[in-house]
Structure 1
């Protein structure tokens, strides 16, 4: 077959219509990008700088911190605050207690949230809407601190591990997130297929539902880890034995003791008062670092689950 020619030249076949050249970004788009970058950069600095300042101040001379000389790097490097804090046996006991309370409470809470959310997500559950309303009612109405204390006391849970675990074992808001996740991410056909294969409800839940819900499990574990590690008020109410205090309450008592010591030294001589204030400042910044360091270590590993599971459970209908 001959190729058509024009004026004796071979005419190559057309490769199709030409694509329109992409135009560069307009001035408005470029301005928006610059403004967005500046705003987001400022937000990042506003969030991260206080954390960095606390870390730097914990290694700095308190006199330099009070004089405003500490900005980005430690001034008058010292580890006296950490030395005083970590040589206190009550701190290590508090870390052990917090680890015990946090692990037990997180395990129990995640188990209750996942099972409750799955049951409420089942469309064949009798009185499903009524049960959901009853669950959600507890989010808006609470008996208060005194009835709660009386219930814990009547159950014989005061001064026990379970006083830190059971009262906050079930967070209804997390149940609603789990319910929404199960309804949106797990189709009903999965249950029908497992029924055809003869799987029981428990086999379906543990073999199919849980393996497909790793993002949700990661979110729930992270939420309850943070919540239970920072638990303070329940320990203040329900625990009277100082050997069972969690880390947050131990650090609070250390800070109170340092302030009381400083006030007592004020009546004796100014040199002792200044030294007590100096030690109190060192210990204060070191306490913040010690109490938040475990969470800062764990959070990056759970970030991908937080992005996937949290958004799926909170936004999908």
Structure 2
């Protein structure tokens, strides 16, 4: 990867190193989210690095923040940037939106020709991509356990949204390219939120030190824009929301919402959720949108901690769920 990007990622990593104390940059708005604030403060005092931000969807007001300007490792959350680029290409080539500045999946078709909106998935969404030996990767995802050697673009995106599928991520990145995803992020005004690399089993000295980095405020605002339909255009935002609503990981903040991890595409007791999580050694991260009868919140939370003992990990997950309980009380 380019040396400038690698250097920037390492500088952000050093800047964000855990300090073992409560941040001075905290907004708590007179007691909103008291339980979550207390829980995160206790973790920060024990040496966990906490970055968090919550934004009211109606007013755009920041409701809660802890070091939300820092760019920290976010594991798989950066895959959302890939999904945005995929969705923008699909909406552009199938005539359903204003689309992408990049090329389409099928470059042989003329780009200047207007195309009508289709009731079903268009040709771009159904373009078939093959997996190769170089794409193979373990950990999260289902495709590695399936026999099918190729899948449509839209199915790969759905696998990423549902299970953070690493193999599907690498196949799409091989086709699209990291530079294109990076350009899309920059066009959205993201300065501290980047997808840095493909998914790798091990990271060497010439590889990016992290899969992705992000700031809590940028991520919370980005997810709020997805909800509002202003990320590229409404069709692009809707596609991304649909893929993310399939997410099966409700082990963190969203664990407080009482939703079925395998089936929460529609409303349940008036609650709607779409989110993306990131998990790595010593990292738990989540960004999402939860809406309910009283309103909605876009949020992002990342924890960096010593993962040597299971008790430390469990404390982090419990604190994230406590914050989720505050979000639930706010919207419900």
Higher relative contact order (CA 8 A, sep 6+): 1
- TM category (shorter chain) comes to under 0.3
Structure label with greater radius of gyration? 1
TM-score (norm 1): 0.27
Q: Name whichever structure is richer in helix by fraction.
A: 1
